[in-house]
């Protein structure tokens, strides 16, 4: 039995390393965070998510099969597929997910997933890709007119006035094709507001929303022509820097970090709001 367990563990490690989320990432650097995650055994019919539940875990299917169900229909998930990517942002599930045969999943808590995006540029980039691709998949399952109306409503974040990740994915695809054609670099920057939950508790939800809006305004003011900014999750923003490699993006990141630190962001003028930044090319 021990031999079989070791064999399964080796297969799991290979599957995880080559999955949509971890492809290209340094798995040694992520080992500590992965050790805090659990492998969960599911029997036929076991549910891991119901429509309306708070999404607080990310799941990767290691073996078996899962089925997603909502009003638009059903979709089967195969080995290596992922569900729950919105855990990084918070929010409610829009579908039920259950095992359609005995299965095993890797369960990653939302906070651990966020820490992984901060520890690995590749994980941040892969998660962004998962979020936007899965949103497009959900839209295609709706009626065409419904999807078009939903896209108009959801392409802009109401708190900050910025575009959101659904819009950014299309912009990213266009810019990537253009930069590849022209032989230019393209850098993705993730911007995380430090201690936003603490600020929400101190100033209330409205005060926290003003922090988000003020950070968005400060970032927008200090962008270069051609840079693209969107909100990504509760505490994060994403920046696309076309024609820019990582070495060129570093001073851009430092300029934005300093601009936010100097600006009056919170209701309390004595409160300094800071941001953390990650880069991926």
d(CA 197, CA 184): 38
271 and 185 housed in the same domain: yes
Look over the chain and give the mean of its residue pLDDT values, rounded to a whole number. 82
Look up residue 153 and give its two tokens.
């409503």
Each residue's pLDDT tens digit, 206-237:
988 999 999 999 999 999 998 999 887 777 88
Q: CA gyration radius for the chain?
A: 20
CA-closest candidate to residue 179, choices 219, 123, 228, 235: 228
> Is 133 among the domain residues?
no
d(CA 134, CA 131): 5
Each residue's pLDDT tens digit, 137-152:
554 444 444 444 444 4
| The pLDDT value given to residue 236 | 82
| The pLDDT value given to residue 64 | 95
CA-closest candidate to residue 134, choices 97, 188, 106, 99: 97
> Is 136 among the domain residues?
no
User: What's phi and psi for 230, nearest 5 deg?
Assistant: -145, 155
| The pLDDT value given to residue 152 | 45
168 and 228 housed in the same domain: yes
| CATH code for position 266 | 3.30.70.270
| CB proximity list for 78: less than 8 A, separation 6 or greater | 61, 65
| The pLDDT value given to residue 110 | 87
161 and 275 housed in the same domain: yes
> Is 124 among the domain residues?
no
**Which structural domain range is residue 69 located in?**
2-117
| CATH code for position 6 | 2.60.120.10
103 and 174 housed in the same domain: no
CA-closest candidate to residue 276, choices 114, 56, 128, 165: 114
**pLDDT of 254 above 90:** yes
Q: For the sheet with 228-231, list strands across it.
A: 163-164, 228-231, 236-242, 186-193, 275-280
Q: Among 21-25, 34-38, 110-114, 259-263, which is the least confidently predicted range?
A: 110-114
Number of domains present in the structure of the chain = 2
80 and 177 housed in the same domain: no
Look up residue 128 and give its two tokens.
């962004």
d(CA 280, CA 191): 12
> Is 134 among the domain residues?
no
168 and 269 housed in the same domain: yes
Each residue's pLDDT tens digit, 67-119:
998 877 888 998 989 988 777 656 667 789 999 999 999 999 988 988 888 78
Asked whether the CA dihedral 109, 274, 217, 125 is positive or negative, the reply is negative
| The pLDDT value given to residue 147 | 46
**pLDDT interval class at 156 (50, 70, 90):** confident
> Is 139 among the domain residues?
no
**pLDDT of 168 above 90:** no
């Amino acid at each position: 039995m021990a031999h079989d367990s070791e064999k399964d563990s080796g297969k799991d490690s290979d599957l995880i390393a080559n999955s949509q989320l971890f492809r290209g990432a340094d798995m040694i650097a992520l080992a500590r965070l992965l050790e805090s995650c659990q492998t969960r055994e599911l029997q036929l019919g076991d549910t891991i998510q119901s429509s309306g539940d708070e999404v607080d875990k990310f799941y990767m299917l290691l073996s078996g099969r899962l089925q997603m169900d909502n009003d638009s229909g059903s979709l089967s998930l195969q080995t290596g597929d992922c569900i729950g990517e919105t855990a990084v942002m918070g929010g409610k599930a829009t579908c039920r997910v259950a095992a359609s045969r005995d299965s095993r999943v890797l369960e990653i808590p939302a906070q651990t997933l966020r820490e992984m995006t901060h520890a690995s540029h590749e994980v941040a980039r892969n998660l962004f890709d998962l979020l936007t691709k899965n949103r497009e998949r959900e839209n295609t399952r709706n009626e065409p007119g419904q999807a078009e109306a939903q896209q108009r409503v959801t392409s802009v974040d109401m708190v900050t006035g910025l575009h959101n990740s659904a819009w950014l994915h299309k912009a990213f695809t266009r810019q990537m094709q253009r930069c590849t054609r022209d032989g230019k670099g393209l850098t993705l920057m993730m911007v995380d507001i430090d201690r936003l939950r603490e600020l929400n508790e101190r100033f209330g939800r409205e005060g926290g929303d003003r922090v988000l809006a003020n950070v968005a305004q400060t970032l927008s003011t200090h962008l270069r022509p051609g840079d693209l900014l969107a909100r990504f999750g509760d505490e994060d923003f994403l920046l696309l820097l076309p024609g820019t490699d990582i070495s060129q993006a570093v001073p851009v990141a430092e300029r934005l970090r300093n601009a936010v630190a100097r600006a009056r962001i919170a209701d309390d003028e004595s409160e300094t709001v800071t941001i953390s930044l990650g880069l991926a090319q």
